[in-house]
Chains A and B, each alone.
Chain A
Amino acid sequence: MSGILQILQWIKEDTPIHRLDPRSKMVWAFCVMILVIMIWDPIILTLLTLSLIPFVVLGKATSRLLIALKSMVFFTVVLVILEILYYGWFFGIIATAKFILATSIFSIFFLTTHIDDFAAALSSFGIPFEFNFVLVTSAKYIPVLFWEIQDITDAYKARGIELEKSMLQKIRSYATMLVPLIIVTTRRALTMAEAMEARAFGYQKKRTTYRQLKMHLADYFLIAISVVLSIGVIVLLYV
């Protein structure tokens, strides 16, 4: 669980990758994602994997990416076994590799893009601010939610109830623990709504932003390379 939390510790860093416009990174991630989904060729997939390395290294995201991937080891192992049983060795391993790649691209994007920048990018694509606000706020509150779950579990255990008993007992315990969690979260949501209204949320339809997104040369370069290369690969393979 703490692995996932690591990813959500939005870190503002000053690396070439963080400095890229979130929109160009979105285009890049989208293109690579499409390729990962469409391609089954092990050589091109290997090249794709290699192409991610500069992003990870320049973006100083290596250790956090590894933590993120490590938190998925169990799930991945299950996936490998199922896929091999179902598709056989070759496709099983490739499919799993594709899964890990897709997860990595997703992680790299969010490890090198602050959630506020992501929201700004969505806004510039014309997605309503209210929607972005909900998205950003819920993402930002995930760590808080984890701490609260920890506190509630502690409080429950401190009452002398063994959590490590049978499966049924465990499920029942978690159901009980949901009660305070829902109460606390609902209360916070209500307080937050009031606080936002007190600060004139929604007073004006048209919003201005403090930080303006600006595309630089590197951004145009990244977009051009991503689009041209992915179209090229697809054309070569399928036409």
Chain B
Amino acid sequence: MPPFIVVHDLYFSYPNYVTALQGVNLNIDKGELMAIMGENGAGKTTLVKHFNGLLRPQSGSVTVDGIDTRNATVAELSTRVGYVFQNPLYQLFSETVEKEMMLGLSGVNLPDSEKKNRVDEVLIELGVERFRNRHPLMLSEGERKRVAIASVLVMDPAVIALDEPTLALDYTEKRRLGGVIERLHNEGHTIILVTHDVEFAFDLSERIVTMSRGKILADLPKEKVFNGEASLDAAGLVEPQLFQLARRLKALDVHISDFSVEGAFAGVMKRVKRSKGK
């Protein structure tokens, strides 16, 4: 099966600004959970905005589900790639959460009962069902974020791109969002996280693409990105705390291969048992 999104030698620059993307090549398969990381201004958002046609290639090409984005409207592409913006306030237009869900669906050719079912499902899925008749503005930051995701999800896109999803979320909300993303991924959605939250990206994604100054620096499975194979400095990133800890423990002859709290704990215990045995 060909990749769902194919980016080929993509160049893009904003008027009066330096080139934002310089020859980006990237394939994204259906069902992936990946993160695009890098410092501010690296071109992450610019790249992702090409996936649903908000930006069009100035040179090179972007193909989504076999469609060249230059020949499709944003509306057509939005049923394939959903985009959750950084600031939920920019994307909530209606006076109740339920109406917000119906906004995008109004243009979709489906029987009303089917639309209603979809809205019900999505609201329950994201745990915002009880806010159905509330004004989106009256919700907390995390709840609003989930409503924004829900409003994208009702369109049933194969790919969901989330731009800085953890911004302004507290720890509980962040974990909750992580759960939602994992569930969507398990249901078969392709997830693209645009973030510089290394812990969040490492916890969730399988593959990490790092960017700097409009170019892709590394495109690797997540462990390899933080294991020294990719230059984190160049991408303005710091490794997750577990990796920092593992590096120090290595000097004490503690070897960690599984980078989770349990994995690290097991590594330490192994070493402790060994020294007790001596």
What's the interface size class on B, roughly? 20 to 34
Q: A157 to B74, Cβ gap below 8 A?
A: yes
Q: Given A151-B85, A161-B103, are A180 and B92 also a contact pair (CB < 8 Å)?
A: yes
A160 contacts which of B16, B49, B87, B107 (Cβ < 8 Å)? B107
Question: Considering only CB atoms, which chain B residue lies closest to A5 in the complex?
Answer: B16
Which residues of A lie under 8 Å from residue B155 when comparing CB positions?
A: 159-160
- Label chain A's interface by main secondary structure: helix
A154 contacts which of B54, B107, B151 (Cβ < 8 Å)? B54
B73 contacts which of A162, A177, A180 (Cβ < 8 Å)? A162
Question: Considering only CB atoms, which chain B residue lies closest to A149 in the complex?
Answer: B90
Question: Considering only CB atoms, which chain A residue lies closest to B85 in the complex?
Answer: A155
Interface flags, A171-211, vs B, CB<8A=1, else 0: 00000110110011001000000000000000000000000
Complex Cα gap A117–B107 (Å): 50
List CB contacts (< 8 Å) of B84-107 with chain A: 85, 87, 89-94, 103-104, 106-107
Question: Considering only CB atoms, which chain A residue lies closest to B54 in the complex?
Answer: A154
Interface flags, B45-70, vs A, CB<8A=1, else 0: 00001001010000000000000000
A155 contacts which of B16, B91, B94, B137 (Cβ < 8 Å)? B91
Q: Given A162-B73, A162-B75, A183-B137, are A157 and B91 also a contact pair (CB < 8 Å)?
A: no
Which residues of B lie under 8 Å from residue A167 when comparing CB positions?
A: none
Decide yes or no whether A148 CB sits under 8 A from chain B.
yes
Interface flags, B21-49, vs A, CB<8A=1, else 0: 00000000000000000000000000001
Q: A160 to B104, Cβ gap below 8 A?
A: yes
Question: Considering only CB atoms, which chain B residue lies closest to A181 in the complex?
Answer: B90
Q: A179 to B93, Cβ gap below 8 A?
A: yes
Complex Cα gap A179–B75 (Å): 21
Least CB distance, A72 to chain B, in whole angstroms: 18
Interface residues of B (CB under 8 A from A): 15-16, 49, 52, 54, 73-75, 78-79, 82-83, 85, 87, 89-94, 103-104, 106-108, 137, 151-152, 155
A-B contact list, 26 entries, CB within 8 Å:
A148-B90, A151-B87, A152-B90, A152-B91, A154-B54, A154-B85, A156-B91, A157-B54, A157-B74, A157-B75, A157-B78, A158-B74, A158-B85, A158-B91, A159-B103, A159-B155, A160-B107, A161-B103, A162-B73, A162-B107, A176-B93, A179-B93, A180-B90, A180-B91, A180-B93, A184-B89
